[in-house]
Structure 1
């Protein structure tokens, strides 16, 4: 992979479009990105990462805030990168998602993320020539071409020294997390998890089998009514089954003996009961015959009463019919009297006339009433027509009144519409100017807030200036102290070397084995520890100075922006302006909010005018129609009135006359019916008197009263019949019992005792039932024990191989996960990562020995950690000066940088080889060179020169001044209030 050209616009601190020509910048194979702290050096590397993967490394990628706040609103945030991968030159353009001001109106809108990939040379096989425009497809294409993920790219191409310093000193867990991200060992973690999940599943299954076996044991002990042993087996189950079989045999023998005794007792009881029953039946028959003999007189009385009642029954029926006819005659006479009175009340002439005369008179009256029926109907219509005539008059008057009222309302509508239109025009103008006034008010409020913040910002700037002066003074003092110590150490270096001389050992300076006058240390001599401590204090003072300068710049920049926005206005002016704008805004708001209401009022007024005009026309039409109908109806009413007056006679109207005729005819008819019914009832009564007297004489009674006194109701007759029948049947039954063969010779005085036999049967039956229950219980227990024992045997046969299999799986799972018999406490994933780390240590050692002049080497350790923690990812340093292996945490600041750089380069080589990606022709190293002295820096630069062998381009990101003298091709990043810019030094300007 080789980078050619990078274009960024409104990205990070770069407000305008900036261009970096990597072909010109990397022509010498080594270039430098330098500039002030916070100028945007690392942002250029972020831009490369964003163009390729759509994200940036480290914590900056989590914020996802890439848009430049200083850019113009119309400038889109964009990154474009041209590069060559696997012989294919491509151009990638990406834009992040961010919020930008709306192009129309106020507020913000979200600019969606976008991406495109264009082939500048022939595309690979299977890729379209027009390129890719979908974000996900661009990401997949880039990852497929580079052969590595974003995490791997950030560690292989953009070497972050801070992270590798942490990696160098990290514990096993932290180092494991980084290596997992780089080497993609998730599949081995999946294998570990698969073993754990399988062990959990098999453990649950084994526990289920154990629980099943325990359940069968508990059920066996419960059924056998015994305690289970601590380790029950098949022998125990066989033993309790044998006990159950013996108990079943004994219970069956007892059942047979109890059954035989019960049968003998029941036979004896049956004989005693039969004898007692025969005595009882004889006694009952004798008692019944005695009772019937005592009732002989009463039965004779019942027969006499029954015979008299049967002879009097026809006479009673005729007497009842005579009573009914008499009652009917009384009703007929009363009805005749009522009908005569009704005829007299209606003015009927000759109410005492015969029935034929009354019926003829009633027919004549009905005929006269029928002739008047048509005129009654016309009289009803006459009343309805008069009511309609009045309604027509009311309708016509109401329509005329409503038409006049509507005309009066319509007279004021033109003036009302002119007023509403004028008010609507004012509201529309207020609404049009509302947004502008609101924007001015928001600007005024923001300016007033800036004015309130101004004193605090000035204090912050002053405090930052004071802090910067203190930090500069501290740094200069620390640097002076460091230089003084180094000078003093160089002056006493001879004494320091002499301190290490030994008799017979060669001098490291002259090589002589004799040391006649070794130099002695002076009182102000300085050692290596003091020099290192002073260098560390100088480095910390420099960091504090850089932080103070950055804080002062941010404070001054914020203060300048606020002053620029205020444009010299005082707080009082801003507050007065804000108050006036607020009052104007409230007035416009009140007026603008009435626009919709006025629109609705205008529409309603116009609709109301149209509706009133239509209503007035309708009222005129209704008035004309009502007047015409009124005149026609009045003529019909006058003509009908003449006919009705002639027909009503002396009555108020025709209906009342007809009603009188109908009532009079009905009264005459009712009188005729009543008189005819009275005559018929008299004839029938006389006839029924003779029939009753004849029936009494034929039945043998002297008078009718004698016959009625002998009569009885049907219920009494039925009761007498039932009593007589029951007595006859009882007598026959008692005699029949005494005549039975088995009862002959049985004396009613004989006594039979049944109680002893009954008690003997109950005792024998209780014994038999207990024996049967015992047999049933023993049989069921034996059957249950057989079934449970078989289940227990099956459970044991399944449990034994499952326990063996689980023991093997548990041991293997512990080994795979770094426990159990795994002496090194290394999981499978840690083992794979340890192998990768060992490769990294070998590759990094070559670089580290070169940069440390053969002193340091990386040593990989697979030993377990302290207190039994996981091992396999240990990384120490072998110091050839002392011959001991040291922890990486004991390295100094410069040594840590060398080790971190070597580790980063070694890891880059291993990851590139493992991923099978394309050749990485471009490499960036970000910061860390400030901890090196001049000599060590020379060695590091030699190693970096080796990296560019074969056409490789190495880019350094640093603000160390000495690197500017060593590297001819440089990209200068400058920081200003309007945004950062880049310029190529030592070549053509890339961007201004």
Structure 2
């Protein structure tokens, strides 16, 4: 990662917006971040780390605590950081939670945290990757850089006072960091995959063994030998049962054939009886069919005369319609004559209305001429009223502003008196915050210890209950197993008695074949049914499953309990003697500290607000005085305007009559006059239009009356002709009159139904006679059989067949069960052999990869140890240079005690003593040189490995002050060598020699209004 630009607003000691352009420092620069104590040198690194991860480099302050107290309310605290990963540029903006001024109104509101992340293409186009959520932005940064916040602080930033962390990290922590840097997670996945596969195969082998035992248990046998012996015993019994079943089947088939033949003959006799009954019914229907033939004939004749009848009826209807139309038109003619007479009377009075119209128009014109004069008067009156109101308002406003100015001066004086008091209270803010943080951490650890203690007690109780439950379930399983085996024993002993119950005199025995049964077997015990045996087996299986589940639950609880005890011990060590105090005491102490912090925070906030308020009051005081002077001048101008407008109003009022001094009254009078004129116009036009319409309507009714008289005469003539034609047709067709024709007339559908009914009857008669003749000839000489005797023979043979099949099924079922079991056992043995062979390979690989053999080093840790050796080779080269050949970093080969992770610990080889000792024994300056060498070596090796994370930037915060002059020169020379290989190195230091030897700087200038950044180039 390479920094490009950092923009900070109201962040840390920087009250305004500060922009630091790293690209201006040159290519692969070695630069110094320089400034006095407290100016904000480390804040630059905090801003970079906060922009990326939402945390500072020291992780000692939250983002919400980074707002500058000197910043103006309108400036939001935020950090924008632009950086490059390989050839791709990104920009991230992050805003912490803070109090900001409301956009509308006074007071403050909470600004929620937010973050935006952009990718910037080569054409400068931007793509939004994260819109707002801070968690999504942090996750995306971790994905892009391959590092989380802690890892970033350890490999790219050596924070002030924490440069030993990477050097002193144990194997577990160093494995986590290196796996991210070198992206060796694939080896961890291989370890987990092999372990999972080995466990799965091992579990399958165990399951196969249990399944094999279960297979034998299901058929109530103890071994493969018992299975083979029982198969040999049942083989001849099965052959004999098959022969008996086949013989009984032949007897049953023959009896069934005889029954089917008798049944068919009986059906034929039944069919003959039904045909004879149908013939009698058809004879009874013959008279009704003859009547239908007569109706069909008369209906067909009437259908031929229907067109003539329809014409006659239509002509009669037309005559009635013509008479009705003539009556309506005659009535309308009388109405039109009356309307014409009334219209003529109104038309003669139009002269008087014309005179009235002229008079109304003159009156309306006079009123319209008064409106402009009245509007001018109204405008003058409004201007006068408005000017008077503005004058009074200006006077009142001046009085109020003078009062506000006096109050403001008094408040400002009182606030200035409180400044010193608040400054003393705010000075305790930092100490109170640290005390609250420490107490909060203590309470949190105390609550964790308390919760862990309760959980372990609950788990211990649950463990006791699980043990008791397991003992109860074990007893139940033993009882169920004993009960099941007793029922099986009784069932086996009673099989001879069960077969004896099926013996009948004269029938062969299913076992020996004898037809005589002198001494059949008997049982004194109540034999269990198959359902009872299955129920007992099911109860035993359920009890076994419950017992196995209880054992698994107990094992899980025991493991959980041991883990909880270990966690409880660790937590108790962290809180120390505080575990003897009640939580209320700790919380009471916290409340006291919080009250002190709240008091200090309130004082600090009030101090800031009060200072800002005083500034605002001073500004308002100047503004109010200016406004008061302007208001006095404005009042005098308004007073002069009021006097002028008063004279103009009095002059305009004299020219307008009193009753029309109101514009609304005048406009209403004009509207009434215009409405009167409009009404007269409408009356005149209405009378003229009505008279014209009356003349036209009367002429139209006269023409309609003449046409109606002609149509009525023509309709009567046509009706007479149609009636004559109908009478002629009735006489020739044999109908007495029109009523007889109408009675005989049927629809086409009815005629068709009658014809179809006659045809169907004829076909039914023919079919009945033909079938009756056939059955009579077929049954000639036959006798109806007796089905009862035949059915009895079928039932007897069927019962014998069922008995034979039942005997065969019992034997066949057992043989099938034994054969299937034998196959299942063979398959299980074959599969178990394959699994055991597979586990011999996978299990061995898993043990080696997961560090369970030899030196107990896992595959990933082995790979990382090789990479660490490369890192230490580079680091030792630089450390030897800075320590003048004395120290060399090496990897500890000795295995750690117990189960502690090992293989990645560091030691230092001292050339002066020729001994190897822990890195923790190095002094402060030596530790700094070793940590610096480690960071530089790590950067070199990560860069060299394909697929690794690119570490082309390093920030070092202090630490050089612990070096002597020679070591300092060597360290600076080392940094310059690293710069020449393509790295950006940023150094924070107070050492004057650093400033002399490093010409490129970012100077932090500290002022009373906040710090500022300046780039200095050589």
Whether TM exceeds 0.5 here: the answer is no
The higher radius of gyration belongs to: 1
- TM-score (normalised: structure 1): 0.42
